[in-house]
Structure 1
Amino acid sequence: MSQSHKTRIAPTPSGYLHVGNVLSFGITTALARKNGATVLLRIDDMDRDRVNALYLQDIFDTLNYLGVPWNEGPADVADFERSFSQLHRMPLYREALNQLVQNKLVFACNCTRSQQHPCTCLQKHIPLSTPNVSWRLITNNNDPIRIKTYSGTTVSETLPISMRNFVVKKKDGYPAYQLTSVIDDLHYGVDLIVRGQDLWASTLAQQQLAEAMGKTGFNRIAFCHHPLITDVTGSKLSKSAGSISIQYLKQQGKSPAEIFTMITAMMGIAEKVDSWEEFVEQLPIAG
């Protein structure tokens, strides 16, 4: 089993937090306590088109309402905007992008989201300085990527088709999620990352990106990918599904205890849960 010192919860202010987020926060808390690790609150606000002040406030409202603790990071919205927004770390992201350019590991892409065919921009040699293009990493699609798991094993897998030549700089000029996530976790010294199973492809992509940038410290990070809570159709919960947002449940008069009990019931645990502490204790964790 991996011994970890710092983990993080990393919500995005692009929708109201929902029960799936709370599950992930609970598993993160459980593993942090098991290891004596600190928990960082890291809010990803680089998707500037989707960032909403209401959603940003909702992060703090939800964490405080449910009693979710964290040891490091912003105390409230004002503190976040003053000291912790990803906008403050733009020099770090630009440095990483410049390094990729110098090593000829990126290419410009002018594909639109609606285009269904595979991107062929690598062969077009579009100048990186062209307006309104994204930058994509030239990925290695054949060699296995090694991922260290929290349970102590190492998993090797090649990059999935969906992640080949993934975007590292968006058309709006801002760095993309995969790059900012790698840089942030290294910047803050995170060595345990808890995320849903749906983000396994992102983990593989981020590991390859870190290796491309020579960031060997990323190899020390252990990953725990947990099962997702699904809706009645078996589909992943979406932030757009308001009925499972904590904000909606609060408006319906649900107490934190009722919300915790609902989440554990969705996981097949038929016990009443009265507090965040009990909720964390009920959660099955790896290792």
Structure 2
Amino acid sequence: MRGRFAPSPSGRMHLGNVYSALLSYLSAKKQGGEWILRIEDLDRQRCKKEYSAQLLDDLLWLGLKWDNFSPEKGGLAPEFFQSNRDSFYISAFNSLCEKGLVYDCFCRRADLLSASAPHASDGSPIYSGKCKSLSENERNLLLKTRSPAKRLMVEDKSISFIDGHFGAQKSNLPRDVGDFIIRRSDGNFAYQLAVVVDDALMGVSEIVRGRDLLSSVGAQLYLYGKLSLIPPDSFPEFYHLPLLLSCDGRRLSKRDKDIDMGFLRDNFSAVDLIGKILFLSGCIEKEEKISLEEAVGEFDWKKVKKEDIFVA
């Protein structure tokens, strides 16, 4: 069994990121499994090396040591940074192109968002398929003015799966997903393609993350099927967490500096913070100091809340 934490180093981690990291770690260790770290730095403009270094330090301060820890490589080997994994994405992309599933898209706004995880609260609309119906002449004219992104065509079908925490789910691909970008117009690969390729090749069997990414599962399962990197009975299991929200109902965000690790480390010890997160999640009845080893014993998916959690 192998779980993972795959943060984006676009700023200092906040309480919501640490909450996801801790619960994904506890779930893996409760099962006697491994927990690996991968840095999702596809967006070269927003993701900085200093943020990655700070992220590793913050996790180790909390006691969350990943099983792919590499002391001689500064804590994490280069192959666990998405910015170093283009060769794997190129192979997967070419495979999809050879199957006739990819087309040029000249629409711009969605292209800018595609390097990051598509959080439901970001309000990205389902793509209309506009560029799929372009004539050859229209396409050639557009190619003279801009470089296209690459979209994956989805089939007219539904995908059903069981979320380990929220139960039975069903995603209709045209209605709920739409044709989605797998490579940006600047040549960088999009989140949806990279995350599927990496989780498959890294042997990830359990994915724990916020419920705002629940809507991504349909697209990712569709990609797993089309890429054939692993057999269907080896597709990872998904567990989605209720979100931590600010008192005004916003999802915690790095952009808003919501309770980031600088503040948390100045005001809490590691055992204080572990206890706080376990209490917020519903795994313990009162907020108290708790060691990481004790937290593994206390963790139980049946105790984890399903409704979103407001952080005072």
Contact in 2 for aligned 1:9/1:25 (Cα 8 Å):
yes
Length-normalised TM-score, structure 1: 0.85
Q: How far is the alpha carbon of 1:266 from its aligned partner?
A: 3.8
Is there any run of 5+ residues in structure 1 with no aligned partner, and where? Answer: none
Which one-letter code corresponds to 1:122 in the other structure?
K
The corresponding residue for 2:292 is 276
Q: How far is the alpha carbon of 1:75 from its aligned partner?
A: 4.6
Which one-letter code corresponds to 2:4 in the other structure?
R
Count of aligned pairs:
280
Go from structure 1 to structure 2 and tell me whether the alpha carbon gap of 1:124 and 1:81 turns closer, same or farther (over 3 Å shift): farther
The corresponding residue for 2:225 is 211
Structure 1 residue corresponding to 2:132, chosen from 119, 122, 129? 122
Deviations 1:202-232 (A, max 9, x none): 1111111121223453552111111111111
User: Partners of 1:7 and 1:217 in 2: how far apart?
Assistant: 18
The corresponding residue for 1:147 is 161
Which one-letter code corresponds to 2:289 in the other structure?
V
Secondary structure of the residue aligned to 1:175 is coil
The corresponding residue for 2:152 is 137
Go from structure 1 to structure 2 and tell me whether the alpha carbon gap of 1:153 and 1:259 turns closer, same or farther (over 3 Å shift): closer
Secondary structure of the residue aligned to 1:224 is strand
Superposed counterparts of 1:161-172, under 5 Å: 161=175, 163-172=177-186
Superposed counterparts of 1:40-189, under 5 Å: 40-75=36-71, 78=74, 80=76, 82-113=78-109, 118-125=128-135, 126=139, 130=143, 132-140=147-155, 142-150=156-164, 155-159=169-173, 161=175, 163-189=177-203
Deviations 1:119-155 (A, max 9, x none): 511111536x945221111112x41213244479764
Is there any run of 5+ residues in structure 2 with no aligned partner, and where? Answer: 112-124, 304-312
Length-normalised TM-score, structure 2: 0.79
Deviations 1:228-266 (A, max 9, x none): 11111222111222141112322x443223333443454
Secondary structure of the residue aligned to 1:8 is strand
Which one-letter code corresponds to 2:251 in the other structure?
K
Superposed counterparts of 1:34-45, under 5 Å: 34-45=30-41
The corresponding residue for 2:257 is 242
Structure 1 residue corresponding to 2:237, chosen from 198, 207, 222? 222
Contact in 1 for aligned 2:200/2:230 (Cα 8 Å):
no
Contact in 2 for aligned 1:26/1:283 (Cα 8 Å):
no
Q: How far is the alpha carbon of 1:170 from its aligned partner?
A: 0.9
Go from structure 1 to structure 2 and tell me whether the alpha carbon gap of 1:18 and 1:278 turns closer, same or farther (over 3 Å shift): farther
Contact in 2 for aligned 1:273/1:279 (Cα 8 Å):
no
Secondary structure of the residue aligned to 1:244 is coil
User: Partners of 1:70 and 1:276 in 2: how far apart?
Assistant: 13
Secondary structure of the residue aligned to 2:255 is coil
- 2:269 pairs with 1:255: yes
Secondary structure of the residue aligned to 1:225 is strand
User: Partners of 1:248 and 1:114 in 2: how far apart?
Assistant: 33
Of residues 94-103 and 82-91 in structure 1, the stretch that sits farther from structure 2 once superposed is 82-91
User: Partners of 1:267 and 1:92 in 2: how far apart?
Assistant: 36
Secondary structure of the residue aligned to 1:248 is helix
User: Partners of 1:266 and 1:171 in 2: how far apart?
Assistant: 41
Q: How far is the alpha carbon of 1:160 from its aligned partner?
A: 7.0
User: Partners of 1:286 and 1:106 in 2: how far apart?
Assistant: 41
Q: How far is the alpha carbon of 1:73 from its aligned partner?
A: 4.7
Contact in 2 for aligned 1:207/1:218 (Cα 8 Å):
no
User: Partners of 1:172 and 1:218 in 2: how far apart?
Assistant: 32
- 2:246 pairs with 1:231: yes
